[in-house]
Amino acid sequence: MDTKELLKKVRKIEIKTRRLSDHIFGGEYHSTFKGRGMTFSEVRQYQFGDDVRNIDWNVTARYNEPYVKVFEEERELTMMLMVDISGSKLFGTVDQFKNEIATEIAATLAFSATQNNDKIGLILFSDEIELYIPPKKGRSHVLRIIRELIEFEPKSKRTNISEALKFLSNVMKKKAIVFVLSDFIADDYSQTLKIAANKHDITGIRIYDKHEESIPNLGMVQMQDEESGELILVNTSSKKVRTNYSAYYYEKVDFYKNTFTKSGAGTIDCRVDESYVKKLLGYFKRR
């Protein structure tokens, strides 16, 4: 992709997702994700109804009249976007590939965080850490994240969510808001998720296509595993083959939901042909 085309794509995503974050998600994000606590702001004269526990006795003694400490919420937070860029990201049968939806969701969340003056970082992962962008503030930083989401080419096509969560725990020493965007068709990651969720506020966003849920009856079909590259002939007319595939798929989906729930993490399911706006808003309001 040449520079002109890339900039055009980045600009298009910025216009769409910034509008969403400005008019819809900004307030919801602010009210959903709280700061680390209350921090001292100033002192002022005591007013009727003030909590006597907030009286500043040193200032009160100095001026011979009561003064109270005023506290405000310490708002600044850090958001980490963890995005699965393995081979299955290029699956899509309706309007968009899964990676295109992931980019839009990540951009919307990033601009919402920027509105609240929060830092945003990015981890792109396959079965290894492909790219790490440390958290920073500002529009230009968000645009860099969008550029990487659009054009980054991973070295590997496989997935290892556990490895990505280990990396998160190593690089993020303070509590962060973490969104993991993946289809979650991956091996066991329960233990590393539990460790990470003890420190961070984690939400899994499962992005999937409706045609991944089951195999249609099309006879003998040559299929390729996007992650391993393996080509195999599949007899889709076999009911047993179709049943086994669906069982495997839903086993992974159930594992994702149960594991995140048990770890105290949130979950959002986004199908590529449905509105992710409604899904995100619904999740924020339920929180």
Q: Two tokens at 279? A: 């899904």
Residues 6+ apart with CB under 8 A from 1: 9, 150, 151
Distance CA 21, CA 113 (A): 9
pLDDT at residue 34, rounded to an integer: 59
pLDDT at residue 286, rounded to an integer: 81
pLDDT at residue 130, rounded to an integer: 97
pLDDT at residue 213, rounded to an integer: 82
Distance CA 80, CA 202 (A): 9
pLDDT at residue 256, rounded to an integer: 97
The CATH-assigned architecture of domain 3-32+76-286 is: 3-Layer(aba) Sandwich (3.40)
pLDDT at residue 91, rounded to an integer: 55
pLDDT at residue 180, rounded to an integer: 98
Sequence spans of domains, the chain: 3-32+76-286, 37-74
pLDDT tens by residue, the chain, 287 residues: 667 777 787 888 888 787 777 766 656 666 666 555 555 667 889 888 888 888 999 989 988 999 998 765 555 789 999 999 987 655 545 567 888 999 999 999 999 888 888 899 999 999 999 999 999 998 899 999 999 999 999 999 899 999 999 999 999 988 899 999 999 999 899 999 999 999 999 999 999 988 888 887 788 777 766 666 677 788 878 888 888 888 999 999 999 999 999 999 999 999 998 888 889 888 888 87
Rounded to two decimals, the pTM is: 0.78
DSSP string, 58-113: HHHHHHTS-EEEEEEEE---EEEEEEE-SGGGG--SSSS-HHHHHHHHHHHHHHHH
Distance CA 53, CA 181 (A): 45
CA-wise closest residue to 43 among 29, 60, 20: 60
pLDDT at residue 182, rounded to an integer: 96
Residue 83's alpha-carbon distances to 53, 149, 277, in angstroms, are 46, 8, 18
